[in-house]
Structure 1
Amino acid sequence: MFFILDMFILAGIFGFLYGFLLQKADFCFTASLRDWISVRDSRIGKGVLVLIATAMIGWGIVLTLGLATVGEVWSMPIGFSNLIGGVLFGIGMTIAGSCASGALYRAGMGYIQFWIVIASMMIGNLLFALVYDPWASDYVMEPLQLAEGGFTLFQLNLPFLLIPLVIVALMLFIAFRQFGWSGVWQGAKDSLQDFKGNPFTKSHWDIRFVAVLLGIIATIQFVVMSSISITGPETRIAGVLLSFVFGDDFVYQNTYLNGMFADFPTIGLGPEETLVIFMIVGAFVSAILSKSFRIRKPKLARMPYAVGGGLLMGISSRMAPGCNIANVIPGIGGLSISSLIVVIGMAVGVFIATAYIFKMPLLLFQKMDFDDSGS
């Protein structure tokens, strides 16, 4: 297919909005899991749950209205590669200090470390492609697959909004049980407090409000363009750079990379790659407006983590496949079974890295032990 200019413009707008909002809320999926595991901080985790709820409702409405079909819902083949890839990605993003989307918005804020993480991820993408052809496909990846096609609960013979509404109702029931009606209502009001005055110059917006905006924007993108993805486009960007060095034939002769450019008229950047690039631009503008941009040089001691974590994220994102944002928003939002397995794997990976690699204080378990001893 040949891309039209309108698609590049739309991609630039979506990417800018994602980067702007992610920076405003300091929205990092790694932190949502790591902070809860280590110090029982659920601030970012609540934002992730709101984002998932918004995406599920959004996808259900879109399908109900016939604005998209079930066949367009993002869902990958199901197998052990989902779990293994998820675990490795969770370990990688904890080591690197950021998820795929977090690395992009922090790069826009001037963090040199996360430019290194992004570069390492793209190298990891290429390493996977070079191992996939000729070794990984037949001897590693295919044996791990239990089903060649993906499956989403939207494929069940049920009203499209039924399952999302049931899940969101359960989430609300748990919230009301824990915080009460007044607590939930107060939380909803608090999420809008950052809009007093000029919100664009403020350094922080409430993550719950930003999560709703992100879910709505992702739903609109699903209708007019495609599902949001980061590591897939990053792999194609890496492929374009590789073609500059070794020529187009080198890329086309690799089975995996050839497949990545199957819908492209030539090896080059498409709308999705434009979206990823403009996420950095959006974060940069957001940081400039709030006067939080500055070039931040990394500590040398952190470099092995940035490189190693980035490489592991790049490789595992091709195994899973997909990164945190693809598997959480269009994946869980689209009720994809493969994405559910990947996200569970990521949570396990973050736990392993937090508890056994960095050995952060597991206050959750310390508190449980304390509670048990007092009973």
Structure 2
Amino acid sequence: MLISGLFVGIALGFVMQRGRFCVTGAFRDIWVTRNTRWLTAFMVVVAVQSVGVFALDAAGVIALEPAAFPWLATIVGGLIFGFAIVLAGGCATGTYYRAGEGLVGSWLALITYALFAAIMKTGPLAGFTSSMRSVTVEQGTFHSVLNVSPWILVALLSAAVGVAVRHHLRKPKFTMAALPASKSGLAHLLFEKPWNAFATAVVIGLIAIAAWPLSWATGREAGLGITTPSSNAVNFLVTGDAELVDWGVFLVLGILVGSFIAAKGSGEFRIRVPDANTVLKSLGGGALMGVGAALAGGCTIGNAMVETAQFSFQGWTALVCMILGTGLAARLTIMKRRPPAGSGGGAGAVSGAARPAGAAAPARS
């Protein structure tokens, strides 16, 4: 059953690459362009997964157990992680799928991310991480504190996300020039036609739901997750302990494979070597990602996507702190380079500054 993790990862990497589903861009756009389209798409994933995860729990397929809320580590780790993803040019999952596109900067960020996650979780700084995460409050979910059915929160979240999606769909659409189609049928749909942000989000949400029973069947009682599997992969390479290679390790390997397949099929794969400044940012950003994710208990997937779907305090606190950390990094590294009003820079200059050197094209709607 471990092999199912590989197939889920391939599907996730393929969909995220083709849909240009960049969580870093979603958080960054709030501050740089005041645009919430991709944040709304991200919340579609959370809402879809929330319906699925509580349905699986009600059916007895999985058993959700609320845990204490490590508030201090979540706040500190979330802020660090949010700041780091701007430097690295992508969050944990984004770094994986961009590594599959051939971005050398993402390879470097991925290496330091996995390494420092291992250092923080099981290495020399594991004691520090444990002590930080030992500062907790007892109640860990919104519905347990409010003493209400989680389905009430699912309904409210779904309604709010639905209103936000409707708002964005009602906005005027701009037609962009495009080359004539060179493929037809399914090949055109999969590899050439731009993917809609919200359709991509629904597919990712369905993949996230499928991950739960498949992962549980192997004894790994969790859904999608990136940080611990990345740490386990590093520890396996060091120790050779085969027990570390669980469903999650196959998942992250699958993301690389799936994104590579998508990039090759769409003609977007290309080895891109960054300049020295981007190399330093990638290495530093990746290291801080590992530190932040270990402290917070997860990255933009494990916390901001999976824990939020369960209405845990950890997930929603991490999400808010990651957005705040991203805003701080954007202000220090992107917005200060914006041209003054009337200088002729315009939105194009902002967009260019927002994309790290050597990174993939901006997200497509």
Provide TM-score, normalisation by structure 2: 0.80
Alignment-derived partner of residue 213 in structure 1: 203
SS of residue matched to 1:146? coil
How has the CA–CA distance of structure 1 residues 267 and 119 changed in structure 2, closer, same or farther, with 3 Å as cutoff? same
Is 1:290 matched with 2:290?
Answer: no
Kindly indicate whether residue 143 of structure 2 is the aligned counterpart of residue 153 of structure 1: yes
Q: CA deviation at 1:274?
A: 0.7
Distance 2:164 2:41 in 1: 15
| Kept after mapping to 1: 8 A contact 2:46/2:306 | no
Check conservation: 1:153, 1:337, Cα contact below 8 A.
no
- Picking from 97, 103, 106, the partner of 2:95 is 103
Cα distance, 1:76–1:286 mapped onto 2, change above 3 Å: farther
Unaligned regions of 5+ residues in structure 1, if any? 1-6, 188-193, 249-265, 364-375
1:208 partner amino acid: F
**1:68-104 residue CA offsets vs partner (Å, 9 max, x unmatched):** 2222x7x563311101100000001111110000001
Letter in 1 for 2:141: F
Structure 1 residue 210: Cα displacement: 1.0
Classify 1:340/1:136 alpha carbon distance in 2 versus 1 (closer, same or farther; 3 Å): closer
Aligned equivalent of 2:299, options 323, 343, 355 = 323
- Aligned partners of 2:163, 2:127: CA distance in 1, in Å? 51
Alignment counterpart, residue 123 of structure 2, candidates 120, 123, 130: 130
Asked if 1 retains the 8 angstrom alpha-carbon contact of 2:5 and 2:214, the reply is no
TM-score, length-scaled by structure 1? 0.78
For residue 228 of structure 2, the aligned residue among 204, 213, 232 is 232
Map Cα deviations across residues 39-92 of structure 1 (whole Å, 9 max, x no partner): 123332231121122112222322333332222x7x563311101100000001
Question: 1:36 aligned to 2:30?
Answer: yes
* 1:60 paired residue number: 54
Q: Does the CA-based 8 Å contact 1:154-1:334 persist in structure 2? A: no
Q: Which structure's residues are more often helix, by fraction?
A: 1
Change (3 A) 1:209 1:175: closer
In the alignment, which of 75, 86, 101 is matched to residue 94 of structure 1?
Answer: 86
Alpha carbons 1:61, 1:160 under 8 Å: kept: no
Distance 1:154 1:214, change over 3 A: farther
Note the C-alpha offset of 1:154.
6.4
Identify the match of residue 242 of structure 1 among 233, 238, 241.
238
Q: Please, what is the CA RMSD of the aligned residues?
A: 3.0
Q: Deviations over 1:193-235 (max 9, x none)?
A: x998431221631121011011111112112324100011001
Q: 1:78 touches 1:149 (CA, 8 Å); kept in 2?
A: no
Alpha-carbon distance change, 208 to 76 in structure 1, aligned in 2, over 3 angstroms: farther
| 1:57–1:36 Cα change, 3 Å | same
Matched positions, count:
325
Partner of 2:170: 183
Deviations 1:94-117 (A, max 9, x none): 111100000011111111111100
Deviation at 1:148, TM superposition (A): 6.0
The secondary structure found in structure 1 opposite 2:123 is helix
Matches of 1:18 and 1:170, distance apart in 2 = 25
Q: Alpha carbons of 1:137 and 1:334: their partners in 2 closer, same or farther (altered >3 Å)?
A: closer
C-alpha separation between the residues in 1 aligned to 2:152 and 2:230?
35
- The residue identity in structure 2 corresponding to 1:336 is S
The verdict on how the C-alpha distance between 1:321 and 1:169 changes in structure 2, with shifts beyond 3 A counting, is: same
The range that moved more, 314-323 or 32-41, is: 32-41
Q: Distance in 2 between matches of 1:347 and 1:77?
A: 19
Residue 291 of structure 1 and its aligned partner are, at CA, apart by 1.4
Distance 1:302 1:31 in 2: 17
Q: Contact 1:111/1:295 (CA < 8 Å) preserved in 2?
A: yes
Distance in 2, matches of 1:168 and 1:352, equals 29
Structure 2: segments with no counterpart, 5+ residues: 175-180, 216-221, 340-365
Q: CA deviation at 1:35?
A: 1.9
More divergent stretch after superposition (59-68 vs 11-20): 59-68
> Is 1:70 aligned to residue 64 of structure 2?
yes
Q: Percent identity?
A: 24
Give the structure 1 partner of residue 360 of structure 2: none
Indicate the larger mover: 38-47 or 334-343: 38-47
Q: Is the counterpart of residue 338 in structure 1 residue 328 in structure 2?
A: no
Following the alignment from structure 1 to structure 2, what is the Cα–Cα distance between the partners of residues 46 and 130?
Answer: 37
Does the CA contact (< 8 Å) of 2:142 and 2:312 recur in 1?
A: yes
Quote how far apart the aligned CAs of 1:357 are: 3.6
Against the structure 1 CA distance between its residues 171 and 298, is the aligned structure 2 distance closer, same or farther, given a 3 Å change threshold? same
- Match of residue 281, structure 1, among 248, 257, 260: 257
Q: 1:81 aligns with which of 67, 70, 73?
A: 73
Q: Output the CA distance in 1 between the equivalents of 2:139 and 2:238.
A: 30
Instruction: Identify which range, 234-243 or 86-95, moves more after superposition.
Output: 234-243
